[in-house]
């Protein structure tokens, strides 16, 4: 993962402002995420769709799904490891199993999707689990935490007059867009618009960088 050109610099500028708070939210595990971002100072980060939290200067906080959910995820992972032979990437997370097909030929992608539906049949009916489609794959994950819960947690620490925005590009960010409504601005970051609960849309990288530069300039004033 590489940030868009110019993005790191403007985020560094925002973090230099004493009244600002930058929070990185990702569906990925936090292992190795900070070095990939390249920020000059550590930022607060939430990973694995809200199941991991890392605050600068503090140890990693990991939230555990219920035992039944963990057992079901072990089964789910074992059922899809064979999909690697088609080029799919299987990623085990603290509270989920994600299968990535980005970059595969359309026929291989459809074969992986069909195999997932077949191999995970029945598991998604568990009250502890749900299937989420993201840009380039499917994930079976434990319910109870998501990007929306992260927004709730972050805004609970902020005052009522706090100006807040959540920027995201994936369908997994829709929980956060819903959670921030009425309390801040949800911004969809994509080359093409899609149906979304976000209230604004910017194209990367130019419009994204421009949005953040204006945010920075408002903080400076």
Query: Which residues in the chain come in under a pLDDT of 50?
Result: none
Residue (of 211, 179, 183) closest to 197 by Cα position: 179
pLDDT at 7: 94
181 DSSP 8-state letter: B
Q: For residue 46, what is the enclosing H or E element?
A: strand 44-47
Q: For domain 67-142, give the fold.
A: Alpha-Beta Plaits (3.30.70)
pTM as predicted: 0.91
Residues 42/141/4/204 CA torsion (nearest 10 deg): -130
pLDDT single digits (tens) 27-82: 999 987 878 888 999 999 999 999 999 999 999 999 999 999 999 999 999 999 99
For residues 92-104, b (16+ Cβ closer than 10 Å) or e, as one string?
Answer: ebbbbbbbbbeeb
Q: Where in the chain is the domain with CATH 3.30.70?
A: 67-142
């Amino acid at each position: 993962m590489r940030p868009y050109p110019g993005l790191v610099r403007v985020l560094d500028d925002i973090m230099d402002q004493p009244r600002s708070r930058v929070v990185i939210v990702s569906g990925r595990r936090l292992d190795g995420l900070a070095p990939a971002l390249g920020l000059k100072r550590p930022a607060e980060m939430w990973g694995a769709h809200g199941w991991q939290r890392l605050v600068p200067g503090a140890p990693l906080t990991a939230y555990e799904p219920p035992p039944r959910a963990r057992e079901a995820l072990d089964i789910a992972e074992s059922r899809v490891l064979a999909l690697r032979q088609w080029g799919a990437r299987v990623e085990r997370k603290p509270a989920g199993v994600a299968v990535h097909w980005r970059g595969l030929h359309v026929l291989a992608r459809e074969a992986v999707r069909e195999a997932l539906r077949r191999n995970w049949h029945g598991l998604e009916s568990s009250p502890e689990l749900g299937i989420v489609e993201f840009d380039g794959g499917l994930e079976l994950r434990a319910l109870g935490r998501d990007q929306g819960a992260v927004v709730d947690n972050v805004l609970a620490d902020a005052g009522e007059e706090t100006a807040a925005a959540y920027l995201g590009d994936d369908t997994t960010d829709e929980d956060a867009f819903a959670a921030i409504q009425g309390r801040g601005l949800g911004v969809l970051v994509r080359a093409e618009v899609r149906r979304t609960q976000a209230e604004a849309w910017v194209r990367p990288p130019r419009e994204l960088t421009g949005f953040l530069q204006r945010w920075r300039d408002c903080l400076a004033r």
